[in-house]
Amino acid sequence: MKYLFILDPFEKLHLEADTSLLLMNEALRRGYEVYSCTEFDITRSNSSLFCRARQHKNPLTPAIVEAEPAYNNYDMEEFDLIVIRKDPPFDSSYLTLLLLLLDLRRPWIINNPLSVLRYNEKLAIFLFPEYITETIVTSSLPRILRFIDEVGGRAVLKPLFSCSGRGVLLLQDSDPSLEAVIVSATDGGTEKVMVQRYLSEVTAGETRVFLLEDRPLAVMKKVPAEGSFKANFDFGARGVPHSLTKAESEICRVVGAFCRKEGIILSALDIIGEKLSEFNITSPGLLAESNQVDDACYEEEIIRFATDRSKP
């Protein structure tokens, strides 16, 4: 088996707890050939799509940042499996990467690049309207102000193309700088943002479900740091064990069926107060944190599944 992982540069990753490294090391443990490249190492020519990649023969550790890389060129049709592990922002470079990958015929790609193109992580929750809280997407200051009033004076604003809680804001009608905050977040009314009812249940924890195609693989609660509303590890949240409620299981069943149909093999759901908050499909993370919470090695099941599916 010959695996290619498309990553952000190693120096930009949190290597001590990176999902990509867990998957790569598990593939190495099984004796597979493991390669990596960035989006900037991929070139389209008249005849082929090829990449400038480095092969990894030893387990990857944070020391990879200091290693002297050795690169070779590879036709991307040579690989059995390509795993897209580039994090947002979902910008023009990310868009171009996915468009190029659509040309490939032989490798199985996780996740299906066409689905990643079609379904924005934030906007995709509108595919499941019965499971989400009150939500709008707009760049209009008056509409956002009216929405905040309609949902009781507090709402959460999210950029559409970022990740890990970056740019997420708590909007409160009592804030004297509220209008200025919204104007800044929407770049003067030119950038659409998502605004959702604030769900107070987040203080007790946001449920993170890592789906392997159509079934829950790992489940935990992400509990925000004291005084914070952001259930993100980058902002001090911690993971605790959790068992899915009946309502959460139903959300996983419905979203999982969609993932199976659309070729989305690795995804992560964030659920607050039994409402679907986000549907992460570009580069879902927190696998190391889930391993720690459950004393597990979930990467073993992922690579086993991927190998069975991608065998010629």
Q: What is the CATH number of the domain that holds 93?
A: 3.40.50.20
215 and 251 belong to one structural domain:
yes
DSSP state string for 40-61: GGEEE-SS-EEEEEEEE-S---
pLDDT at site 149: 98
Q: For residues 70 and 168, state if they share a domain.
A: no
Which pLDDT score is estimated for 229? 87
Side-chain half-sphere of 236: how many Cα atoms within 13 Å? 8
Q: Give 113's pLDDT tier (boundaries 50, 70, 90).
A: very high
CATH number of the CATH domain containing 230: 3.30.470.20
In the prediction, which pLDDT does 164 show? 64
Rounded CA separation 10/66 (Å)? 10
- One domain, residues 228 and 194: no
Q: Give me the pLDDT at residue 138, please.
A: 98
Q: How far apart are CA 58 and CA 24, in angstroms?
A: 10
Does 12 share its domain with 92? yes
Beta-bridged to residue 172, according to DSSP, are 154
3-state SS track over 94-136: HHHHHHHHCCCCCCEEECCHHHHHHCCCCHHHHHCHHHCCCEE
pLDDT digits (tens, 9 = 90+) for 148-202: 999 999 999 999 988 766 789 999 999 999 999 999 999 999 999 999 999 999 9
The residue range of the domain holding 21 is 2-111
**Tens digit of each residue's pLDDT (9 = 90 or more) over 205-254:** 999 999 999 999 999 999 998 888 888 888 888 999 999 999 999 999 99
CB 32 within 8 A of CB 3: yes
Q: Let me know whether 174 and 242 are in one domain.
A: no
Q: Does 189 fall in a domain?
A: yes
Please determine, for residue 312, whether its predicted confidence score (pLDDT) is greater than 80.
no
Q: Quick one: average pLDDT of 265-275?
A: 97
**How many structural domains are present in the chain?**
3
Is 155 part of any domain? yes
Q: What is the CATH number of the domain that holds 165?
A: 3.30.1490.20
- What percentage of the chain has pLDDT greater than the value 70? 99
Question: Do the domain assignments include residue 106?
Answer: yes
Mean pLDDT of 36-41: 97
Determine the average pLDDT of the residues in 133-143: 98
Look at residue 312 and tell me if it is in a domain: no
**181 plus 208 within the same structural domain:** no
Got the DSSP string for 155-187? Answer: EEEE-SS--TTTT-EEEETT-TTHHHHHHHHTT
In a domain, 265, yes or no: yes
* Within-domain flag for 16: yes
- Per residue in 11-36, pLDDT (tens digit) is 999 898 899 999 999 999 999 999 99
Q: What is the mean pLDDT of the chain?
A: 95
| Predicted local confidence at residue 226, as pLDDT | 87
pLDDT value at residue 163: 72
